[in-house]
Each structure stands twice: as structure tokens, then as C-alpha cells.
Amino acid sequence: MNTQPSVFAQIMAFLPLPEFRKCVRRYRGDYRVRKFSCLDQFFCLAFAQLTYRESLRDIVSCLKAVKSRLYHMGIRGRVSRNNLANANEARDWRIYADFAKVLIAEARRLYRDEDIGLELKDTIYAFDSTTIDLCLSLFPWARFRKRKGAIKLHTLLDLKGSIPTFIHITEGKTHDVRILDDLPLEPGSFYILDRGYLDFSRLYTFHQNQAFFVIRAKSNLQSRRISSQPVDKTLGLTSDQRIALTGLKSKADYPDAIRRVRFYDRENDRYLTFLTNNFLLPALTIAKLYKLRWEVELFFRWIKQNLRIKSFYGTSENAVRTQIWVAITVYALVAIIKKKLDLKVPLYTFLQILSIMAFEKTPLNQLFTETNDHESMAVDRNQLLLFNL
């Protein structure tokens, strides 16, 4: 008799369940619940993420097909479309948000020594947002335009391991720059921002909190040069200057000097101008830091292609937030497992294997060490960059 737990059960065994129960108690998630607990709901939604289920009916049909195995997968309650739908509508989404933060903290600890190609000991973050389109008639709370609904996923990504450390979900019409007010600022850390976040009053808040920003300048920037440093133009650098803002509003919003680094991007034949409040790093390092911002774009692309956050299992705001946070939890969990087991397969391949082997009883180490033909799987080159270490 094979007593080995299923692949899905082995994956879920890495969860810190005492922490999950603390989150449930914090928001009274299981108050007066008898048949379908928050843990049952989480396992069902995690199964949906790992196996690419598209709807509630899809989830329930697959789980009912292996009804005899549900207990050993950790699902104790009665799985039905009605139970799962009601749980998504009624159980507080903050349970899953808080639990995701527990896993994110563990993943960051595991990946804190990862090499990102720069000799910097400081934490480096990239911040950006992505829009997820929704049908306004089904999601009337997610107003974006007159006839279109959407939500925005604002994400602060720790570039050591590509771990999302701060996630804020808003309706689509929320302006990106407003979320800078909610960012947790760590002294000595670097925050890489696109020029859409160029707001000097908010950037001065970074400066006052001793956090460093690197951001692209807009073409209409009003400033005067205070001093210049020599640069090696063979590296693509064109200037390294200390400037003062001269616009009436910008000067009032940011009264101190700013560093301006200009760089010629030979690959794309364009000139880029970066602003930062760090005056110590070499100019080329500032340019390389901004190049790392592309990692957050890859993160958004990856989760949209490989996790279920574009089609939702419920239409309420609570159901949508719950699904997104469970998806982030699964992302962090897979990153933790990959690191702890020292698996060399790309994250994309990892999930592809899990999606078809969830009910098998093969040990995880054996499952991935026996998978050698990774190159045969057609995949966008960019998808391999996340956790392809």
C-alpha cells in the first residue's frame, strides 16, 4: 500500500498552519462555520491556482472526481459549488492577505542573499502597477471608465527573489502616484520608479525618510545645474550632475539638490535621464538600478499568464480580493519550496508539472529530479527569468 501523500498534500505541508489559524481567529473567519472552514476554502482555491481551474464548477468537478482523496489533501468539509461561492463572498479577504504576508516574510528571508548582479547590500525595490480588466456589469464596484471596469494591482517587488512585499488593490480609476503615500519606506533602501510616479512632494518624503529613489525624468523638467562630475562616455554615460529644481511648484515641493544622470541606451538608440537622491553610487550603477525595474513588469506578466487572476470565481469585491491574495500566497509558497528543496527547474516548469501531477504520490524531490527535458517546453524567454536561478 502506497502511504506517500499526494503531490498537492506535500505542497500544502510547507504551509505554517498555526499562522493561518491565527489569521482566521483574528477576523473570526470560522465563527458559526460547521461544514466548510476557511482552511477548506483556502485549499480549494490553492488547488485551483496550482491546476489552472477556470471556474467554481471546474474546481468542484475536479475535486469531486477524487472525493476519496480529499481528506488526505487536507480538505475536511463538503466541497460544493454553493459552499465555495458563499465562502468567497462572506469570509473576510484580510484572512488571506495576512497569511500571504507571513509567507512573503519567509520567502524574503530565504532569498535575502540572492545575487542580482549589483554589489549592493541594501534592499532594492521596484514599484509599479498593472490593470486587470473586468466587466462593469458584473463588477459594478470596480469602476474604471464609463463602460469599462477594472482593478489595479499596485506592487512593491523585492528584487532579491522577485518577492512582492507590498500589494495594494484599488479600483481602476485610482491614480498610481497616490499609492506612494502608502508605501512602507525603509531607510537606506532603493526604490525604482517609472516616470509616471514623478511627484516631487512625494519624492521629498522618500528623501526625508532617508530612503533612496531612482526615477526617470520627464522631458519638461525645469532645473539648473549646480555642479558636474566626470563620466566615462565609453560606458554610455553622458553626464552626472547635481541640479536644483527651478519650477515654482517643484522647487517648493523639493527644495534640496537632486542628482541627474544621463545615459545613452545603445540597444534602443535613445537617451535616458534618471533622477536620484543618492550622490554616492557610481553613475553607471544608477543606470543599472533603473534597468532592474523591468523585473516588476516580468512579475506582472508571469502572474497573469500562470496564476488565475484574470478570470474570477466570484463577482464581489471580497471574492476578487480573496482570489488575488490566495494567488500571491501560492506564488510565495512555490518560491519557498523551490528554495528549500534547492530545485533547479524554472518556476514555469515547476507549476506545469504540478498542474498534472497534483494527485500523484511521487516525492517532490524525485518528481523534479526526474524531469530533465525542460527545454522541450515552449515558453517565452522572459517567463524563465523569475526564479530561474
According to the model, what pLDDT value does residue 300 have?
93
CATH no. for 116-297: 3.90.350.10
Q: Which of 66, 86, 67, 89 has its CA nearest to residue 78?
A: 67
Top mean pLDDT of 141-155, 312-326, 358-372 is at 312-326
User: Quick one: pLDDT band at residue 2, thresholds 50, 70, 90?
Assistant: low
Q: Read off the pLDDT of each residue in 134-153 and give the average, rounded to a whole number.
A: 90
Mean pLDDT for the chain? 89
Residues 6+ apart with CB under 8 A from 145: 172, 173
Residue 289 has pLDDT above 90, yes or no: yes
User: Quick one: pLDDT band at residue 132, thresholds 50, 70, 90?
Assistant: very high
Q: Alpha-carbon distance 290 to 382, whole Å? A: 18
* C-alpha separations of 276 from 160, 177, 184, 233, 287 in Å: 21, 17, 18, 20, 10
| Lowest mean pLDDT, pick from 281-285, 291-295, 359-363, 374-378 | 374-378
According to the model, what pLDDT value does residue 371 have?
55
Residue 122 has pLDDT above 50, yes or no: yes
Residue 181 has pLDDT above 70, yes or no: yes
CATH 3.90.350.10 in the chain is located at: 116-297
> Cell for 388?
530561474
Tell me the percentage of the chain whose pLDDT exceeds 70.
94
According to the model, what pLDDT value does residue 379 have?
42
According to the model, what pLDDT value does residue 370 have?
58
Q: Alpha-carbon distance 38 to 60, whole Å? A: 16
Sign of CA dihedral 50, 30, 23, 300: positive
